Amino acid sequence: MLNSFKEIPAAAKQGGVKKLVVPCPVAADLPLLAEAAAAGLIMPILVGDGSSLEVLVNGSPLAAKKYEIVDESNPLQVLGRALALVRNGKADILMQGGVAPQELLDALRDKEKGLLPKGGVISFVSVFQLLKREKLILVTDTFINNNPTLVEKQKILENALQVGGILGIETPKVAVLAAIEQVNPGIPSTLDAAILSKMGERRQFGKAIVEGPLDIDCALSQVAAGRKGLQSVVTGNADIYLVPEIDTGHLLAEALVFFGKMQTAGMVVGTSKPVILNLPFVTNENRLVEIALACLACRKGDTNG
């Protein structure tokens, strides 16, 4: 099992070099791509206007590494060309590059040209490294789904379990978060959490132990949970935190980074191939970890739960 960010690139390297395609790359992407290539993780494929890309690469750290350029002079076709490379097996990983986040997500969901399997749900899993001990935790969904339904939450949890598997978590403990720890018909998130917990009891999530609803103090502390009459192996030791909606998820992720000073990396999950976003609260160092996570996902076959 992987317990820290420093272990992820080393584990990913064992799977060999993966082809990572970047539509409309920007100058800030090149040092990262060069570092990932030097680490033996990827071989970059840059998609865009060929002459402009040559100028961009020349003089950058990537110029001394192995890379490919796919010439596409029509800016409206660049993302489609990149997606086709991934969909047709000519690339293993898609990175956002200079494409707007919503444009990328919409393209991923395209029924004919995207990377979303039928019936699937795209979600974002944020991975955090705890400060006081070597342990990785997952928080989802932190970026994509605004107000997921119960069915969508089931898929989001299954996506997160895929990432847990990539990290080697054999029996993941899942805290399904809500405003309170009691089931209250007036608070829909508590009902969803209770149903997901019952599904977990009936092994619908494999070996995962799913507990909910849990408010944040019960999820983080066995002592707090005990005071409220809750006894569970999940409290105080969760591997995955499933949030009720995007406000909670995104705010929690940013709070852990900016207030909690925790390192984070993440990836889009639910697609047929790994996808990496460029989120502003992920450091350049941890963007390399994101590439390594995507490489590990390739070794698992795909990221679709």
Tens digits of per-residue pLDDT, 105-164?
Answer: 999 999 999 999 999 999 999 999 999 889 999 999 999 999 999 999 999 999 999 999
Is 267 a residue whose pLDDT tops 90? yes
3-state secondary structure the chain: CCCCCCHHHHHHHCCCCEEEEEECCCCCHHHHHHHHHHCCCEEEEEEECHHHHHHHHCCCHHHHCCCEEEECCCCCCHHHHHHHHHHCCCCCEEECCCCCHHHHHHHHHCCCCCCCCCCCCCEEEEEEECCCCCCEEEEECCCCCCCCCHHHHHHHHHHHHHHHHHCCCCCCEEEEECCCCCCCCCCHHHHHHHHHHHHHHCCCCCCCEEEEEECHHHHHCHHHHHHCCCCCCCCCCCCEEECCCHHHHHHHHHHHHHCCCCEEEEEEECCCCCEECCCCCCCHHHHHHHHHHHHHHHHCCCCCC
For the stretch 77-119, pLDDT in tens is 999 999 999 999 999 999 999 999 999 999 999 999 999 999 9
Q: What are 184-219's pLDDT values in tens digits?
A: 999 999 999 999 999 999 999 999 999 999 999 999
Instruction: Determine contact, residues 243/213, Cβ cutoff 8 Å.
Output: no
Structural class in CATH, domain 1-116+271-298: alpha beta
**Cα 240 from Cα 254, distance rounded (Å):** 17
Helices 188-201 and 150-166 cross at an angle (nearest 10°) of: 50
Mean per-residue pLDDT, 236-263:
95
Residue 51 has pLDDT above 90, yes or no: yes
Task: pLDDT band for 304, please (50, 70, 90 cuts).
Answer: low
pTM: 0.94
Q: How far apart are CA 9 and CA 39, in angstroms?
A: 8
| Segments of the chain assigned to CATH 3.40.50.10950 | 1-116+271-298
Answer whether residue 286 shows pLDDT above 70. yes
CB 115 within 8 A of CB 270: no
Answer whether residue 302 shows pLDDT above 60: no
Residue 29 C-beta-side C-alpha neighbours within 13 Å: 24
What residue ranges of the chain are covered by domains with CATH 3.40.718.10?
Answer: 122-268
Check if CATH label 3.40.718.10 holds for domain 122-268. yes
Q: What is the pLDDT of residue 305?
A: 44
The 10s digit of each residue's pLDDT in 37-47 is 999 999 999 99
Percentage of the residues of the chain whose pLDDT score is greater than 90? 92
| Distance of alpha carbon 81 from alpha carbon 304, whole angstroms | 22
Q: Cα(107)–Cα(276) distance, rounded to whole angstroms?
A: 14
**Contact present, 20 and 42 (Cβ < 8 Å):** yes
Task: Please tell me the predicted confidence (pLDDT) of residue 281.
Answer: 87
Span 214-234, pLDDT tens digits = 999 999 999 999 999 898 999
**What band does 274 get if pLDDT is binned at 50, 70 and 90?**
very high
Q: What gap in Å lies between CA 158 and CA 164, rounded to an integer?
A: 10
Percent of the chain past pLDDT 70, that is, above it, reads: 98
